[in-house]
Structure 1
Amino acid sequence: MIVKYSLGLDVSSKDIKACLATIDNEQRVKVKSSKTITNTQKGMHELLAWIEKWYSDLEIPLSVCMEATGVYHENCAYFLYDKGFNVSIVLPNKAKKYLQAIGIKSKNDSIDAKGLAQMGAEQKLEVWEPMGMFYYELRVLTRQHQSLKESLTAEQSRLHAANAASRQINFEIKQIKSHINFLEKQVEKLEAEIKRLIHSDETLKKNLRR
């Protein structure tokens, strides 16, 4: 007797590989169907139609398991969440350890849709809850800030090396200085926006005053 459906999704920037599996009361996992769709809104509607075709017994729970892949998995996760599905997003290292534990070998150590479907079927994974828009925006801006600071540090190191070279190229030094100036202005604008965003939230604003 089937006790659970599990949908494994292997998400990349271009497409989503899906695998729908079941697990019975004797813990036997069986693949019902597989499909590849584009990672677009049109593709996600195709995914939904495919799920509805193969998942007909709505009294049996269905879990969705996908691996965190930068930002590429987010649109699909939000889409399925909005449709009422229980979505679990696992970290790559957790998925990799599970893959190794069940003896599945992969050329690039990544877990595919079938492995994710089996993982979702056999384990009770934490259900993902999307963060609110405020914290999502704050996360994006702080990541951008970190990236700009790293670029700025790299350019400052380049300038130091260019000035220390036995033969200095004035045009190169001028270009690096110009880029540093640009990055510094971008960092300044970004820090102002992060500060504005934080001060728009009363809870964070109070915490900063402590």
Structure 2
Amino acid sequence: MKPQLFAHPFSSYCQKVLVAIYENGTAFDYRMLSPDEAGTVEEWQSIWPIKRFPVLKDGENAVMEATIIIEYLMLNYPGTVRLIPQDPQAALRTRMMDRFFDNYVMTPMQKVVFNQIRPETDRDPYGVKEAKAMLDDAYAWLDGVVAKTEWAAGDTFSLADCAACPSLFYADWVHPIPETLPNVRAYRARLLARPSFARAVDEGRPYRAFFPLGAPDRD
């Protein structure tokens, strides 16, 4: 039986997992989370009452959180693309960069997006200002990192790049990467050109009208 992924194609963390799956051509059943799939949504909520996605169901195993799902797939459904290096030091660097993208790019990006969804009276301009400042700091630091390597954790596409794909994709919509940081802009372009992420982006394209801040006419 193939593992089942409860996900939505426009979700950033779902895209992170889908990139890993597409890199290795892993066979899976896509359990689409949408209002039209009430049974799937009900099953997902019964598995994970926290109601966050993606969730992977593999037989009796339920796996939550995008990074852990990717690690689980690497252990149980390994493919030709090794997304976590065997060398412990290289693996540590990869995991550190994965956390960097989730915590310092994805999180502030989502803070800006979720603020837009709130009722106007409950919005947090100061929090948005803080989030954009964090993105500026993250972009500036990353520019030095990717000036030296093709990918986030070295010269091989890895878990860190799976995290970078949706993080930088949506963050640049929310708070554009400055032209003064050409290495980050070039790295984002390399990610968009990667077939696995290009596929994930295309699958999410029909839902762009739902982006709370308005999706730019690019990418």
- Please give the range of the TM-score, normalised by the shorter of the 2 chains: under 0.3
What is the TM-score normalised by the length of structure 1?
A: 0.27
The structure whose residues are more often strand, as a share, is: 1
The structure whose residues are more often helix, as a share, is: 2
What is the TM-score normalised by the length of structure 2?
A: 0.26
